[in-house]
Amino acid sequence: MCGIVGYVGNRNATPIIIEGIKRLEYRGYDSAGIAIINKEHELKIFKEAGKIIDLERSLPAPNETSGNIGIAHTRWATHGEPTTTNAHPHTNCCNTIALIHNGIIENYKILRKKLEAEDHIFVSETDTEVLTHLIGHFYREENNLLLAVQEALKLVEGAYGIAIICSDFPDQIIAARKGSPLILGIGKNEFFVASDVSAIIIHTKRVIYLQDNEIVTVNKNNFEITTINNKIVTAKVSEIDWDVSSIEKGEYKHFMLKEIFEQPKSVGNAFRGRLIPELSTTRLGGLGLTEEELRQVERLHIIACGTSWHAALIGKNIIEGLARIPVEVEYASEYRYRNPIIPDNTVVFVISQSGETADTLAALREAKSKGARVFGITNVVGSTIARESDGGVYIHAGTEIGVASTKALTSQVTVLSLLAVLLGRMRNLSSTYGTTFIEELIKIPEKIQRILDNNEEIKKIAGTIKDSTNALYLGRGVNYPIALEGALKLKEISYIHAEGYPAAEMKHGPIALIDKNMPVIVIALKDVIYDKIVSNLEEVKARKGRIITIATEGDETIKDISENVIYIPQTINVLQPLLSVIPLQLLAYHVADLRNLDVDQPRNLAKSVTVE
């Protein structure tokens, strides 16, 4: 992890690859580096711990970094501290081969021990350097770089997306993938390699998504894709349907704020074309299931990580309530290792914004190996989960740059609510409710906008808790996962310790933490358990907790209990999370911004977690 960019063509590679990794900064990283083959066919390596700007400052004069081929990397440390020595690229003993790598080589210790016995000298603590030396070992034996890469990768256990240049081949890049995304960008007499389309979208919209165990050898005029076993592959060229404007901040201070404000549009995109008002139901054609197959579904497993897991919990509540089908929600990292039981007529859904989350992808493969039909809910067209699922649904949220996910969650919840109505209407959900659901869902974008219009007031409330060291989030029913999500957002970007709980569970432990310094953020909307959560609020007030309440417009009672109230519009119970989460996103954002923190690139986090 975390970002790969490569270029070969007629232009100077350095500014192109530096610009490319800058477009990947949002993914999170702690060091950066480049490798260039200059006009004299010399391999030059430049790398620095810290930010890309630190790398740029350390570069020598432009004439010393000029060349028509180069690779660049941003590293998110896994093996070894974030130091300049551990930064990529890494080289072999002869300093003729440079390699950058996303992923983890799980058997690197065994390989390193064997290579050290053959007098290979290592300078870093990384697993990546082992792969560089291993390729160098086979290259010395075979005198064929592609063959050396193939032979080395046959010995590797783990995940990788790699790009390699060699001074013996001053116009060639070799790149390969297994479990970590990698694409080839096709230009005119030039080619690009990248781990994410956003790095090269300014140069080309024509790309090839490499598959696992594929290797591409590319120069400025052509390319060839082979498998690890040297079988030639005919690949499909895809056309990217978005442009660079979608990955720029525009008028907003941070990408996260921009993406919060994009939610009226992104939620609308998630349900557009998927409503059937005349039948009081919905459609999700990407599933590829017949009506009979949908009726035969007896149980759902929903698997995800992080924010997507919170969306899954909300989906469980909605699907069980409307379709009366039992739903199990699991962390992907646990599901993949616990030998899950998947009964007949169970359908598995995996949720991932990027479609590349390593644990979720492994869980997908585990479920498929047990014979389950697995469907993906993802945002990225052409992602690995999208390709390996039996079918699925794109959430159409648009590019999400901020590491802390916002609009992906509301789009995921929208899709899950559509699934709930689709399954419910095939069972015992009334047409009256189906019609009400559709009518209310259509109003949600406008209601989100009304909450966003209250942004300045929410910012003022954020100022009252910005110096806190802890916070408690409480919710019940369908809003309990929103309490979890609100706490996660605050932790992720402000570094304030926060926990989410079902409000009734507060008295079974967390109430011991409440005092005059503890902010308690409570979702208390008008629904069937409103009176119960008001009682929970009274318990907090009695202990002098500082209560911030998310309440339904027109609720005056709640003012007497709360220090601050953020009002949101009324909607039906199952759609409340699409509204209640918005002020919590804004609250976390403003707290972090008021603390002068890097909102879009919080420490230690990465946007797409492609390692275990």
Q: What is the DSSP letter of 151?
A: H
Instruction: Give the pLDDT confidence score for residue 516 in this predicted structure.
Output: 84
Res. 484 pLDDT band, cuts 50 70 90: very high
User: 489, 524, 304: which is closest to 313 by C-alpha?
Assistant: 304
Res 607 pLDDT > 70: no
Instruction: Give the pLDDT confidence score for residue 244 in this predicted structure.
Output: 66
Q: What angle do CA 574, 579, 582 make, to 5 degrees?
A: 140
Res. 179 pLDDT band, cuts 50 70 90: confident
Task: Check if 607 is active-site.
Answer: yes
Which listed residue (44, 178, 407, 607) is catalytic?
607
Contacts of 299 (CB under 8 A, 6+ apart): 325, 326, 327, 328, 343, 345, 346, 347
Beta strands in 335-431 (DSSP E): 346-352, 373-378, 391-394
CA distance 65 to 84: 18
The per-residue pLDDT for range 72-115, each reduced to its tens digit, is 999 988 888 889 999 999 999 888 999 999 988 989 999 999 99
Cis peptide before 481 (omega within 30 of 0): no
Beta strands in 97-137 (DSSP E): 97-102
Residue 428 in tokens: 């015992």
Task: Check if 94 is active-site.
Answer: no
Pick the CATH number of 249-453 from 3.20.20.450, 3.40.50.10490, 3.90.550.10, 3.30.70.150: 3.40.50.10490
Q: What angle do CA 368, 373, 375 make, to 5 degrees?
A: 100
Order the strands of the 373-378 sheet from edge to edge: 327-331, 299-304, 346-352, 373-378, 391-394
**Element spanning 173, H or E:** strand 169-178
Instruction: Give the pLDDT confidence score for residue 506 in this predicted structure.
Output: 75
Res 533 pLDDT > 90: no
For the chain, give every domain's residue range.
2-246, 249-453, 454-600
Instruction: Give the pLDDT confidence score for residue 48 in this predicted structure.
Output: 94
CA distance 214 to 447: 47
Res 409 pLDDT > 80: yes
Phi, psi for 561 (deg, rounded to 5): -100, -25
Most confident range (mean pLDDT) of 223-232, 395-404, 498-507 is: 223-232
DSSP string, 440-469: HHHHHHHHHHHHHTTHHHHHHHHHTTTT-S
By the 8 A CB rule, do 233 and 223 touch? no
The per-residue pLDDT for range 249-286, each reduced to its tens digit, is 778 999 999 999 999 999 999 999 999 999 999 999 99
The per-residue pLDDT for range 108-143, each reduced to its tens digit, is 999 999 999 999 999 999 999 999 999 999 998 888
Of 87-96, 473-482, 507-516, give the lowest mean pLDDT range. Answer: 507-516
Instruction: Give the pLDDT confidence score for residue 568 in this predicted structure.
Output: 97
Res. 47 pLDDT band, cuts 50 70 90: very high
Distance (Å) of CA 304 to CA 133, 184, 394, 409: 36, 28, 15, 12
> Which architecture does CATH list for 454-600?
3-Layer(aba) Sandwich (3.40)
Instruction: Give the pLDDT confidence score for residue 1 in this predicted structure.
Output: 53
Same fold yes or no, 249-453 and 454-600: yes
Instruction: Give the pLDDT confidence score for residue 240 in this predicted structure.
Output: 82
Length of the chain: 612
Q: Which residue in the block uniquely carries the two structure tokens 């929600």?
A: 329
CA distance 590 to 490: 10
Which listed residue (2, 220, 305, 407) is catalytic?
2
| Beta-bridge partner residues of 73 | 4, 33
Phi, psi for 40 (deg, rounded to 5): -90, 10
Instruction: Give the pLDDT confidence score for residue 338 in this predicted structure.
Output: 84
Question: What does the pLDDT average to over 299-326?
Answer: 96
Res 610 pLDDT > 60: no
Contacts of 495 (CB under 8 A, 6+ apart): 595, 597, 602, 603
CATH 3.30.360.10 describes domain 2-246: no
Residue 53 in tokens: 């700007």
Phi, psi for 335 (deg, rounded to 5): -60, -40
Res 25 pLDDT > 90: no
Res 527 pLDDT > 90: no
